[in-house]
Amino acid sequence: MKRTLKITALLIAMVSFVGLAQAQQKFGYVNSSAILAEMPEVKQADANLEALQKQLQKKGQDMVQKLQQDYASVQQRMERGELSPKQQEEEAARLKEEEMKIGEFEQQMMQQVQEKRQSLLEPIYEKVNTAIEEVAQENGYVMIFDESVLLYKEPSQDVSDQVKAKLGIVN
């Protein structure tokens, strides 16, 4: 029983000490979405992604148009009786294959856009994270959170402007 009391007292003392130590630490937060939205690099990356996406969509639309034209051509040839049943089967299989190629292209297009997005934005995220780390170290912050995860925030702890200054973003 005495041992349990000693252990409990020791745990209470440790929790109190940890609480006291944390009370002396400095915490801050940033609005990373707002910071990213103001960065010219992000705007340029978005423009590049949009251009790539439009280019790929145009190619996909061209593929669909060609398939529709091929389908109409086969349909007309069938109506005129120019295709034997075996030829009709072959044409149907060819059209089905083209349709599958379009589906594969759409999947590849989405993957390509996602990979391009990641390659363009990853260095920007690294730049922002580095700026946050530098602000934290220069100002003695133990932790800096993103405000999107906070339930309550004290406006005086917002270090977004310091991070923007570090990144060269002028308000």
Residue 144 burial (CB count, 10 A): 21
Res 114: pLDDT: 96
Asked if the model's pLDDT at residue 3 lies above 70, the reply is no
pLDDT tens by residue, 75-134: 999 889 888 999 999 999 999 999 999 999 999 999 999 999 999 999 999 999 999 999
Asked if the model's pLDDT at residue 141 lies above 70, the reply is yes
Q: Any idea what the CATH number is for the domain that residue 44 is in?
A: 3.30.910.20
Asked if the model's pLDDT at residue 5 lies above 50, the reply is no
Q: Return the amino acid letter for 56.
A: L
Res 38: pLDDT: 93
Helix (H, G, I), strand (E, B) or coil at 26: coil
Structural domain including 10 reads: 2-167
Res 83: pLDDT: 86
Asked if the model's pLDDT at residue 142 lies above 70, the reply is yes
For 113, the token pair is 């856009």
pLDDT tens by residue, 19-68: 545 556 899 999 999 999 999 999 999 999 999 999 999 999 999 999 99
Number of domains in the chain: 1
| Over residues 8-19, mean pLDDT | 51
SS (H, E, C) 94-160: HHHHHHHHHHHHHHHHHHHHHHHHHHHHHHHHHHHHHHHHHHHHHHCCCEEEEHHHCCCCCHHHECH
Res 25: pLDDT: 86
Asked if the model's pLDDT at residue 10 lies above 80, the reply is no
